[in-house]
Amino acid sequence: MKKIALALALLMLATLVLGCAQPAAAEPAPAEPAAAEPAAEEAAPAEPAAAEPAAEDDLAYVMSTGKLKIGITIFSPMNYYDDNGKLVGFETEFSTALCEKLGVTPEFIEINWDTKEVELAAKNIDCIWNGLTVTEERKENIGFSDSYIKNMQVVVIKADKADTYKDTASLASANLVAEVGSAGESAIQADESLKSASYTAVPKQADALMEVKAGTADAAVIDYVMAKAMVGEGTDYSELMILPNLELAVEEYAIGFRVGSNIIPKANEIIAELIADGTLDSIAATYGLTDSLLSNQ
């Protein structure tokens, strides 16, 4: 029995020794590095920015709407309401005749003259057609048609002040008034004597005449074509007069479109037709402007 127990003990000891002698389990092999993600394709060079579209076809735009939106102010004899409340005037009839040949309907929109260029650029109007003086400064923001009227800036005073105000030097101490943003305002600023005078800007040329009539201003600088029609005997301003022998600036009127508008050459073509067939001369005669037409100079 003892022999059996001894044999069993030896067997267990041998098993234990063999177990200890076995090598330790191998560490798991380091993981293969993950396959590198394929490098993202190098970004393709950006496409060049598309070229700016050409200026919009202004003529096609107007033709598609079927109307020409015309920016005006109330300015006799160019655009004003008659006793029946109908809009009349040289520019009113002239633009209507041109629109008829163009195949669209005129839509007259009263604007603030001081923001006329903003209204034009925003397409609130398609043109400015209201005794618009051509100047180099305005050419930066307005495309002009051919000129058709000769104008000048004149000084309007009360007739009983004719002995007081005779020239620009005598007006240096006067209270002057003109339409804001107008050629009259520019004429005041350009004259050494007038720019030293007290000056008030008003919304419209008609307002300038009202100021002189009321005695709140001594003199107004306005367009000759307006003064000729509205001042003197038989008018609402019979007590006012144009200061004689004083022309502050000689100018020309034209239609103002957006710069680069392709309506301009078409308008010029129609203007030439209206001159050739006598239409423009007939309209001018109605409003006392025959001598002011450039085609009659």
Query: By 3-state DSSP, what share of the chain in percent is helix, strand and coil, each rounded to 5?
Result: 40, 20, 40
Helices and strands of the chain, counted as H and E runs: 9, 13
Q: What is the pLDDT of residues 195-246, one digit of tens each?
A: 999 999 999 999 999 999 999 999 999 999 999 999 999 999 999 999 999 9
| pTM for this model (two decimals) | 0.76
Q: How far is CA 297 from the centre of its chain?
A: 31
- Nearest CA to 243 among 297, 166, 135? 166
CB 51 within 8 A of CB 93: no
Q: What is the pLDDT of residues 71-124, one digit of tens each?
A: 999 999 999 999 999 999 999 999 999 999 999 999 999 999 999 999 999 999
- Nearest CA to 116 among 102, 127, 104? 127
Q: Give all domains of the chain, ordered by start, each with its CATH number.
A: 58-148+254-296 (3.40.190.10), 152-251 (3.40.190.10)
pLDDT at 65 over 90: yes
Residues in Cβ contact with 286 at an 8 Å cutoff, skipping those fewer than 6 apart: 90, 93
Confidence of residue 137 (pLDDT cuts 50, 70, 90): very high
H or E, element range at 219: strand 219-223
Per-residue pLDDT, 56: 76
Between CA 251 and CA 228 the distance in angstroms is: 16
pLDDT at 160 over 60: yes
